[in-house]
Copies of this chain bind each other. A is one copy, B any other.
């Protein structure tokens, strides 16, 4: 049994991937943990520790091969295969996410959208049709949907979680401002935008204080 890797480490992987992608685009072939640490403003020690959770990707005296490390981290993050995705809630936020082509590039394929608002039914966001809520259950089963994105208000979110779980969804990307209760084995990633804004608000207030001292 492998040891569990902490979510702190996982949270840093996408950032490594982003910097490595940039280096790749610049045609840079190799990088040492020291160089990367200066670029990313983290310690070289942390980079080496983080990577060694997954195996020895570097070479002593040389550093890391950018291409190789990029692809290894991609694999760790599960970006080497694709996921079918639906968006529940076709408001501005749902449409914004649906239109974001970069997700598709990473293997997150938008299969359909759902909304209670009849006026939206039949409209398309890229290749995905906006459908009524009563088609949700069968659509998930028939299209092997892996991920449901929740961009509806919290009452709606709570209403549909069970439907999602019962029909075999694997993960929920939750933008509703509520904590979801799901059975073990179903992954939930919360994006609580107002929490993030409040954090910013706190830091502004405190930064002002510090100046005043």
Known interface pairs A92-B95, A171-B204, A191-B191; A108-B199 also in contact (CB < 8 Å): no
Size range of the chain A interface in the assembly: 35 or more
Q: Is the CB of B146 within 8 A of A204?
A: yes
A198 at the interface (CB under 8 A from B): yes
Chain copies in the assembled complex: 2
Residue A207 contacts which of B15, B185, B208 (CB distance < 8 angstroms)?
B185
Residue of B nearest to A190 (CB): B196
A25 at the interface (CB under 8 A from B): no
A142 at the interface (CB under 8 A from B): no
The docked-state distance in angstroms from the alpha carbon of A83 to that of B198 is: 11
Residue A198 contacts which of B7, B17, B147, B192 (CB distance < 8 angstroms)?
B17
Chain A, 1-47, CB within 8 A of any chain B CB: 1, 7, 10-11, 13-15, 17-18
- Residue numbers of A with Cβ under 8 A of B are 1, 7, 10-11, 13-15, 17-18, 76-79, 83, 91-93, 95-97, 99-100, 102-103, 106-108, 146-147, 170-171, 173, 177, 185, 187, 189, 191-205, 207-208, 211, 213
